[in-house]
Amino acid sequence: VTGITVAVVGLNFGRLWLPIYLAHPDVRTVVICDPDPAALSAVGDQYGIERRLTSLDEVLAADDVDAVHLLTPLDLHAPQSLSVLASGKHCAVAVTAALDMASLWDIVRAQRESGKNYMMMETGGYSRAALHIKRMVDEGRFGEITFGRGAHHQDVGGLSSLWTGIPPLWYSSHALAPLLTILGTSVSSVRALGSGRLPVEKRGRWGNAFPVETAIYDLVDSPVALEITRSTHQTVSGQGEWFSVYSDRHGFDWGRAWGEEGQLFHSRDAGDGTIRSEPFHPSDTTSELPEQLRERLGPQAVDALFEPGAHLVDEFVRSIVEGRPSGIDAVVAANWTAAGIAGHESALAGGAVVAIPDFGREA
């Protein structure tokens, strides 16, 4: 019998990922875990999953579980990731990796000491648009990038109280990840401002006064600056995540709401002397997934079941099977997450420059 055993922990957002693990050719068994017995039996029955556990401790005590994917509330991600790595299991975790810098260093160290794989399951770099533009850049067709901009507007008012008053940039990797993935680099420092004002009763446990934060990042070994805006409250707009990227040959603007078509621009040198634009139709990237996963899910099912999720699961599982670091390992995850933590720090200091640590050096 080949393949790994994966435990999916946290079955709200987590249930979206189950069909992907169940269809992956390198996954032998899927175990589910949630302290909520109703969620556990509803999800277990729906997907025919026998192994149902009610606590992470039980998952970590199970010798046959090779890897754990955490989809638990935000404030549990860092401590639970450390427990998973300490137990000698591979760890995938929903964004964000952590809510403070010290935990990011702990995760980088724990990953290295454990020798196990870690992957932050950031969806932003695996959208069709991001993968398509990345391919154009990697093949040299996009030219030299001069600027990038990302945004994530999500009114978190309907979510659990954990989200009330959360510093907006703490959860900004959906906006940043596509740009850093395309550019193939990381952030080195940030200047940010808070915008707007939350009433005291909406500042939640975080005591944060900003419904919006906007940041400008310097990058490692790149002349490009990135501008990232994140809103969480009191900002009525198209909801969603998007990015723009511009170069000497092309420009790309994502649509301004989910499902809206993007635009690709062509330099005036490319045709009749004017800057032309056309609707952007990203290519189908499901062909890059293992045939068995594609076949079992079917092309439409992959789309409906969260196409970036299929790419992320495939990368996590294959990195384990192939014994190599994952595409978003601890050092990368720490950089993307620190970008937001440092950004909020800068906003609190009225836009002062805040350096982002180099997590690749010895922790």
* Chain positions contacting ligand NAD, by CB under 6 A: 9-13, 33-36, 39, 56, 71-74, 76, 94-95, 123, 160
Measured distance CA(292)–CA(303) in Å, rounded? 16
* Least distance to ligand NAD, CB of residue 204, Å: 15
CB nearer to ligand NAD: give 165 or 251.
165
CB nearer to ligand NAD: give 57 or 322.
57
Measured distance CA(8)–CA(20) in Å, rounded? 11
Counting Cβ atoms within 10 Å, is residue 185 exposed (0-12), middle (13-18) or buried (19+)?
A: middle
* Least distance to ligand NAD, CB of residue 350, Å: 28
Peptide bond into 96 cis (omega under 30): yes
- CB contact set of 165 (below 8 Å; sequence gap of 6+): 198, 202, 203, 204, 205, 206, 207, 208, 233
Measured distance CA(85)–CA(88) in Å, rounded? 5
* Least distance to ligand NAD, CB of residue 79, Å: 10
Measured distance CA(229)–CA(140) in Å, rounded? 28
CB nearer to ligand NAD: give 39 or 193.
39
The residue type of 121 is M
CB nearer to ligand NAD: give 55 or 274.
55
* Least distance to ligand NAD, CB of residue 323, Å: 26
* Least distance to ligand NAD, CB of residue 89, Å: 15
CB nearer to ligand NAD: give 118 or 265.
118
Q: Dihedral, CA atoms, 134, 139, 145, 147, nearest 10 degrees?
A: -10
